């Protein structure tokens, strides 16, 4: 792409969450191109919700059990952003950046921490072709394929 941007998939995952927490994955180097998706599997559902913005996705569940947030993004190098969990959870929250058939980087927000920043250096040769973005999301977020 002539402007130096390329497509990637990014996901944030926390498993075994026992707190009622707010999760947010924000991109500062580009935009979310597919509206994003989230999956909250509460252990004892009282309420869940998700919000989607041009540069951020947030979700909350009570207590969440498993939280996965993901999106296709269009970004230049490096892919930068932040993750927030409030209040902090009892488990690590992992952010993973994917390219075409490969993991390009991971960042772990340790249990008990509320926020952190990530930066992944990327090469457009590892980017996902725009025509394959939706299929790449189905691989990392199976529930994405169920929503229409």
Instruction: Answer yes or no: is 1 within a domain.
Output: no
Per-residue pLDDT tens over the stretch 56-92: 998 886 666 788 888 889 999 999 999 999 999 999 9
Q: How many domains does the chain have?
A: 1
Range of the domain at 69: 6-146
Per-residue pLDDT tens over the stretch 43-58: 665 556 777 788 999 8
CATH number at 14 reads 2.60.40
Q: Where are the beta strands (DSSP E) in the chain?
A: 6-17, 22-27, 30-32, 37-41, 48-52, 56-61, 65-75, 79-86, 93-99, 102-109, 115-120
pTM (predicted TM-score): 0.84
């Amino acid at each position: 792409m002539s402007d130096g941007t390329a497509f990637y998939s990014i996901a944030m995952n926390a498993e075994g969450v026992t707190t009622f927490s707010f999760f947010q994955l924000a991109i500062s180097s580009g935009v979310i191109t597919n509206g994003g998706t989230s999956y909250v599997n509460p252990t004892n559902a009282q309420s869940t919700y998700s919000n989607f913005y041009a540069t951020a996705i947030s979700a909350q569940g009570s207590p969440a059990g498993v939280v996965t947030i993901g999106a296709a993004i269009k970004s230049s190098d490096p892919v930068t952003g932040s993750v927030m969990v409030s209040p902090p959870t009892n488990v690590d929250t992992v952010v993973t950046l994917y390219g075409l058939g490969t993991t390009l980087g991971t960042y772990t927000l340790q249990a008990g921490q509320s926020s952190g920043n990530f930066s992944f250096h990327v090469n457009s040769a590892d980017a996902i072709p725009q025509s394959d973005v939706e299929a790449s999301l189905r691989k990392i977020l199976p529930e994405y394929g169920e929503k229409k």
